[in-house]
Structure 1
Amino acid sequence: MAPLPTPSEQPDDAPEAYVGLEATSAERLARERGWTTVRALPPGSIITMEYLVGRLNFEVKDNTVIRCWKG
C-alpha cells in the first residue's frame, strides 16, 4: 500500500491583510510571501470551491481587493 501524501505547506499569512490593497500590488506581495497560486476574481464570479493548498483568492472590485481567502 502506498503512503498517504503529505500536503504541501502554505504561507502562514493573514488573508485580511490584503483587503484594501491594489490588485496588482496584492498579487505581487502574495507571491513574495510564498503563495504558489493567486486567483483574482470579480464580485459574484461563479467558481469551483475545491480547496487547493497554496492558493490565495482575491475578490477584486475597481482594481481593489475587497475580500481574500485561502484555498
Structure 2
Amino acid sequence: MAPEPTTPGQPDDTPESYVGLDDRGAEQLARSRGWTTVRAVPPGSIITLEYVVGRINFEVDDHTVIRCWVG
C-alpha cells in the first residue's frame, strides 16, 4: 500500500513505527508527536472509513499494535 501523503494539520510520522508497541505506549507516543485523535480498535472491527485529519488508528490485539494507519 502506498504511504498516505502528509496533509496540513497532521504530524509527519511513520505509521509503521507503532506496529509491535503496546497500545498505551503507542497512544502516548502518538500524542507526543502531535496526533490529536488516537483510535484503537480490535481486529475485525467494523469502523467508519471517513478520513479525519490528525487521526491515527491502531488495530490492537492483546494490548499490542498489529496495524496502524492515518485518517
**TM (normalized to structure 2)?**
0.89
Counterparts of 1:15 and 1:31, CA distance in 2: 13
Name the amino acid aligned to 1:23. Answer: D
The 5 A counterparts of 1:1-71 are 8-71=8-71
Q: Which runs of 5+ in 1 are unaligned?
A: 1-6
Name the amino acid aligned to 2:53. Answer: V
The offset of 1:36, in angstroms, is 0.1
Alignment coverage as a number of residue pairs: 65
Identity score, percent: 72
Counterparts of 1:9 and 1:60, CA distance in 2: 25
Question: What residue is the counterpart of 2:3 in the other structure?
Answer: none
Q: Which runs of 5+ in 2 are unaligned?
A: 1-6
Question: What residue is the counterpart of 1:4 in the other structure?
Answer: none
Q: Find runs of 4+ consecutive structure 1 residues off by over 3 angstroms.
A: none
**TM (normalized to structure 1)?**
0.89
Q: Which one has the largest radius of gyration?
A: 1
